[in-house]
């Protein structure tokens, strides 16, 4: 895992800019590049932070995701990763990340996280 927070923020910003522009191919290419240089976990944390937004109070949170049991692997992963992020449960976040790597699904999960974050930002901006 990378240790450069500035690089993780830059990666997440680029991915979000591309996702907001609707350039899925460029998002996929950027995600693959970040995964290949071991910066994906930190980028995922930045994306989760952008999705959650500011002002979340500390404490135990239970997030509701209607229909999650019928969702695909990537959507379940995003829901669980964001839940771990909100609850400051780093061990669960790392375990989820490792499982996605082991299952060969990390790029797909990061693409879904980027898309969900972009959709949330659009909603916040009233677009």
- The predicted-structure confidence for 17-39, as pLDDT tens digits, reads as follows 999 999 999 999 999 999 998 89
Q: What pLDDT does 56 receive?
A: 72
Asked if the model's pLDDT at residue 3 lies above 70, the reply is no
Mean pLDDT of 55-67: 70
- The predicted-structure confidence for 69-93, as pLDDT tens digits, reads as follows 888 999 999 999 998 999 889 999 9
Q: What pLDDT does 103 receive?
A: 97
CB atoms within 10 A of CB 41: 19
Domain ranges for the chain, please list them.
5-125
pLDDT-derived band of residue 95, with 50, 70 and 90 as boundaries?
Answer: very high
Q: What pLDDT does 42 receive?
A: 95
Q: What pLDDT does 127 receive?
A: 61
Q: What pLDDT does 30 receive?
A: 96
For 62: left if phi > 0, alpha if psi spans -120 to 50, otherwise beta; the answer is beta
Residue 93: strand, helix, or coil: helix
- Residue 82's nearest CA partner among 124, 122, 38, 50 is 50
């Amino acid at each position: 895992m990378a240790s450069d927070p500035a690089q993780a923020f830059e990666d997440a910003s680029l991915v979000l800019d591309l996702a907001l522009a609707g350039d899925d191919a460029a998002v996929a290419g950027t995600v693959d590049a970040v995964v290949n240089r071991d910066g994906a976990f930190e980028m995922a944390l930045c994306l989760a932070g952008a999705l959650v937004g500011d002002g979340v109070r500390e404490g135990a949170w239970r997030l509701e995701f209607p229909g999650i049991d019928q969702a695909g692997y990537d959507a379940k992963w995003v829901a669980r990763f964001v839940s771990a992020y909100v609850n400051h449960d780093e061990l669960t976040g790392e375990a989820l990340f490792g499982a996605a790597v082991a299952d060969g699904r990390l790029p797909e999960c990061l693409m879904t996280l980027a898309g969900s974050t972009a959709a949330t930002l659009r909603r916040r901006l009233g677009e």
